[in-house]
Amino acid sequence: MSDPAPLLEARGVTRILQEAVPVTLVRDIDLTIGQGEFVSVTGPSGSGKSSLLYLLGLLDLPTAGQIFIDGIETTGLSANELAAIRLSRIGFVFQFHFLLPEFSVLHNVLLPMQRLGVLSDAEMMERGHALLEELDIADQAKKRPDQLSGGQRQRVAVARALANDPALILADEPTGNLDSKNSEIVQEIFAKLVRDEGRTVIAVTHEVGFAAATARNVHLIDGRIDSDTRR
Amino acid sequence: MFWQVALGIAAAQLTHRRRQTIVSTMGVALGVGFFIATSSVMSGSEKDLTRRLVDNAPHITIKDEFRTAAKQPVYLAYPDATVKLTNTKPREYLRGIKNYGAIVEELSQQPGVIAEAALTGQAIVRYASKDVGASIAGIDPEKERHLTTVERDMREGSLMRLKTASQGIVIGRGMSVRLGLGMEDLATVVSPTGLVRRMKVVGIFSTGNLLLDEGQVYMLVKDAQVLLDKPFIANRIRIKIADPDDAEVFASRIESRWGYRSESWQEVNRDFLGLFAIRNTITYSIVGAIMIVASFGIFNIISTTVMEKRRDIAILMSMGFRAFDIQTIFLVQGVFIGLIGMLLGWGIGLVLLQMLASVEFTIPGMSEKQGIVLDRGFFQFALGGFFSVVSAVGAAWYPARKAAQVRPVDIIRGAT
Ligand SMILES: Nc1ncnc2c1ncn2[C@@H]1O[C@H](COP(=O)(O)OP(=O)(O)OP(=O)(O)O)[C@@H](O)[C@H]1O
Ligand SMILES: [Mg+2]
């Protein structure tokens, strides 16, 4: 890797909601994640796992601290600049698939590519098909999301997250809605993305098995990092 | 590239809720259609009436009277004094415009101005022992052609024949029928002072206006002067000017120059023109209300879509769509409804105009059947289309902004 800067770095990241009673979602998070790392984030319900993931993915803004992506400081960037970084460098997978119901599976995967507008139409189609192939749902390409099983939908969501070839995949309980068999399939997909494609995956999970399979585990309690262990 | 996505998403959302889209588009289309129909009827009748007012009659008529009664000499001599005179009698003066030849001469020198001295009065036309009361107009046929539309309304003979025939008259179709008086017949014309002349019918006109067709008689000024026993007198100077809109100014200039009461066509038809303004206000308010109702329809559909599509908005934003992109997606839906509504509205407008054009009816006092005069201008269509697109964009604006303000974190946290 030519770029010496880590893929993702958080320094003293704190997010406090200014409500009638201020709510601290996460506090003083220091975290450095390099390329090709597979990180699981665990912790009790309400410990701030989702909040941390939104902050790292530039969906939410910290009230204090800095987040660097590829060495670029994101503090102070405009909403449009943050959107541009999300578009080309970050892929999200959530517990709910969030596929657009009016569009076919393939079209859903094409949306981020079309928005980025780098590839030609033919190249996009090719890449879309290749991604569906990779996730073993190529035969479902023309169907609508509601005609798919839960596991298939989640794989489409992963394909969509990969559309613009992002280095960073952020997943919030991606297997939370799946049965154990589908859960294993999705876990294996993430492992492959890291192992074979050198992507970085940060996955929030409740599943002990999932966490155990990752090389690094960050455990949160009450919005703070309780432990950060590598295997 | 961005447009491909924005249009694609907008189109997908519109077609997904097909029925609501069709209903709100029809709302706009009906608004546009009725706007076109109403405004072409309104504008058509206004233009038609104005044209008639302007073409059928002189732009300005100078009369042999004064706007205010002449003051007693004592008031003029002592303008500041407190004087009260009772039992005074205004001086009698000979009716008629003094020196009308010079006035006509001077007016005619101005470019685009046609001025004609005329003598009007009353007489009785008698034929085959039947009488009809008539308004006599002593005119100059050469100029009358330009001043009024009577020449266009000639059905037999012509106005110009007055010049060649001796003692000729031109009468209306109504009078001709009532008296059984045809072309080349000799009628007896009796003046109020008892003068009797035999005059030959050299032309018959029909204007559609019962009053004129039964009661108007044209002859040469000199014949009128003899008949009415007013030698060398004219009591009207009738004027046409280049631009009818200047008539008011022109009339007041004439009045201050010569003192005679000068009436512009606007002054004569003041109440008519005022009526147009009121009528336009009412119709355009109603049409405006239709458009507002139509835009509520659009507002409704876009708002509902935004509410129901919050998850999609959130995921698009997390994918990297900008707030502006989201706003555009929903604004485009408004524009689309506006544009389709406009096209359909044009179609509805054309059909309505076609139907209106085939309507015929009889107005009391008019002898001929009338159709609705339509102003089939490009303008009505352009304005209707403009309104529909503007109201559609206006209606979509607020919900589209709301969509752009969705905070993806709130939605995503709630959905998982
Ligand atoms: N909008 C909000 N208003 C008030 N409190 C909030 C809000 N959003 C989050 N919180 C609180 O912040 C804390 C962290 O929430 P977060 O969703 O990050 O937890 P989590 O670790 O993802 O939990 P889970 O495992 O249940 O998903 C929770 O206590 C939550 O109640
Ligand atoms: Mg969570």
Average of per-residue pLDDT values in chain B:
88
Do B359 and B221 share a structural domain? Answer: no
Least confident piece of the model among A42-46, B286-290, B347-351, B370-374: B370-374
Q: B28 CA to chain A: closest CA distance, Å?
A: 25
> What is the structure's pLDDT at A216?
95
Of B13, B312, B321, the CB nearest to A83: B321
Please give the Cα distance from A202 to A34 (Å, whole number): 11
Please report whether residue B175 resides in a domain: yes
Cβ within 8 Å of residue A186, ≥6 positions away: A151, A154, A155, A158, A174, A175, A178
Cβ A184 vs Cβ A151: under 8 Å: no
> What is the structure's pLDDT at B367?
60
* Reported pTM: 0.75
Average pLDDT, integer, range B381-393:
89
Do B136 and B236 share a structural domain? Answer: yes
Cβ A103 vs Cβ A43: under 8 Å: no
Please report whether residue B103 resides in a domain: yes
Task: Choose among B401, B404, B382: nearest CA to B393.
Answer: B401
Q: Whose CA is nearest to atom 14 of ligand 1?
A: A48
Average pLDDT, integer, range A154-160:
94
Please give the Cα distance from B406 to B182 (Å, whole number): 85
The DSSP output letter for B366 is B
The number of the ligand nearest the C-alpha atom of A51 reads 1
What is the share, in percent, of chain A residues with pLDDT greater than 90? Answer: 84
Please give the Cα distance from B223 to B409 (Å, whole number): 97
Do B283 and B235 share a structural domain? Answer: no
Strand order in the sheet with A8-17: A23-33, A8-17, A64-69, A72-73
Of B219, B240, B261, the one marking the end of a domain is B240
Which residues of chain B neighbour A80 with C-beta distances below 8 Å?
322-324
List, in sequence order, the alpha helices (H) in A100-142.
105-116, 121-134
pLDDT higher than 80, residue A185: yes
Task: Choose among A223, A183, A226: nearest CA to A203.
Answer: A183
> What is the structure's pLDDT at A1?
44
Which residue out of A15, A49, A220 has the highest number of ligand 1 atoms within 8 Å of its CB and is therefore the one to mutate?
A49
Can you say whether residue B410 is alpha, beta or left, with left for phi > 0 and alpha for psi between -120 and 50 degrees? alpha
Task: Summarize pLDDT for B164-184 with one digit per residue, the tens.
Answer: 988 999 999 999 999 999 999
Do B390 and B278 share a structural domain? Answer: yes
Give the torsion sign (CA, A63, A66, A68, A72): positive
pLDDT higher than 60, residue B380: yes
The answer to whether residue B406 neighbours chain A at the CB level (below 8 Å) is no
Please report whether residue B407 resides in a domain: yes
Least confident piece of the model among A38-47, A209-218, B211-220, B269-278: B269-278
Task: Quickly list DSSP for B132-168.
Answer: EEEEEEEE-HHHHHHHSSTTTTEEEE-TTHHHHSTTE
> What is the structure's pLDDT at B318?
95
Cβ B27 vs Cβ B276: under 8 Å: no
Do B332 and B197 share a structural domain? Answer: no
Do B390 and B297 share a structural domain? Answer: yes
> What is the structure's pLDDT at B258?
87
Please report whether residue B399 resides in a domain: yes
The answer to whether residue A50 neighbours chain B at the CB level (below 8 Å) is yes
Do B98 and B227 share a structural domain? Answer: yes
What are the structure tokens assigned to B181, written together?
């008086």
Can you say whether residue B160 is alpha, beta or left, with left for phi > 0 and alpha for psi between -120 and 50 degrees? alpha
Beta bridge partners of A93: A171
pLDDT higher than 50, residue A139: yes
Of A80, A83, A102, the CB nearest to B16: A102
What's the pLDDT band for B364 if we cut at 50, 70, 90?
Answer: low
Cβ neighbours around B345 below 10 Å, total: 28
Please report whether residue B267 resides in a domain: no
Cβ neighbours around B74 below 10 Å, total: 11
The answer to whether residue A117 neighbours chain B at the CB level (below 8 Å) is yes
Do B236 and B277 share a structural domain? Answer: no
Beta bridge partners of B205: B154, B172
48-107 in chain B: CB under 8 A from chain A: none
The DSSP output letter for A198 is -
pLDDT higher than 60, residue A20: yes
Please give the Cα distance from B262 to A176 (Å, whole number): 93
Please report whether residue B225 resides in a domain: yes
Of B240, B264, B284, the one marking the end of a domain is B240
pLDDT higher than 60, residue B416: no
Do B278 and B228 share a structural domain? Answer: no
The answer to whether residue A68 neighbours chain B at the CB level (below 8 Å) is no
- Pairwise pLDDT comparison (B174 vs A1), residue with the higher score: B174
B42 phi/psi in degrees, rounded to 5: -65, -50
Do B309 and B211 share a structural domain? Answer: no
How many independent structural domains does chain B possess? 2
> What is the structure's pLDDT at B132?
93
Residue B360 parent element (H or E): strand B360-361
Please report whether residue B60 resides in a domain: no
Would you state the torsion angle of the CA atoms of residues B266, B267, B273, B274, taken in this order, to the nearest 10 degrees?
A: 150
CB-count burial class (<10 Å; 0-12, 13-18, 19+) for B45: middle
Do B102 and B28 share a structural domain? Answer: no
Task: Summarize pLDDT for B238-257 with one digit per residue, the tens.
Answer: 999 988 888 999 999 988 88
Task: Choose among B296, B305, B293: nearest CA to B333.
Answer: B305
The answer to whether residue A79 neighbours chain B at the CB level (below 8 Å) is yes
CB-count burial class (<10 Å; 0-12, 13-18, 19+) for A178: buried
Q: Which one of A115, A121, A153, A158 makes the best mutation probe of the B interface by having the most chain B beta carbons within 10 Å?
A: A115
Task: Choose among B115, B113, B117: nearest CA to B100.
Answer: B117
Task: Quickly list DSSP for B7-72.
Answer: HHHHHHHHHHTHHHHHHHHHHHHHHHHHHHHHHHHHHHHHHHHHHHHHHHS-SEEEESS-SSPPPP
The parent domain of residue B337 ranges over 2-54+272-415
Rounded (10°) angle between helices B323-357 and B270-308 = 140
Task: Choose among A116, A53, A77: nearest CA to B325.
Answer: A116
Which residue out of A50, A54, A207 has the highest number of ligand 1 atoms within 8 Å of its CB and is therefore the one to mutate?
A50
Whether the CB of A46 sits within 6 Å of ligand 1? yes
Domain annotation for chain A: domains and CATH numbers: 37-59+80-219 (3.40.50.300)
Q: Whose CA is nearest to atom 5 of ligand 1?
A: A23
Do B179 and B99 share a structural domain? Answer: yes
What's the pLDDT band for B92 if we cut at 50, 70, 90?
Answer: low
Q: Is the Cβ pair A114, B413 closer than 8 Å?
A: no
- Work out which ligand 1 atom sits closest to the CA atom of A223: 14
Q: Whose CA is nearest to atom 10 of ligand 1?
A: A25
Please report whether residue B167 resides in a domain: yes
Average pLDDT, integer, range A203-230:
93
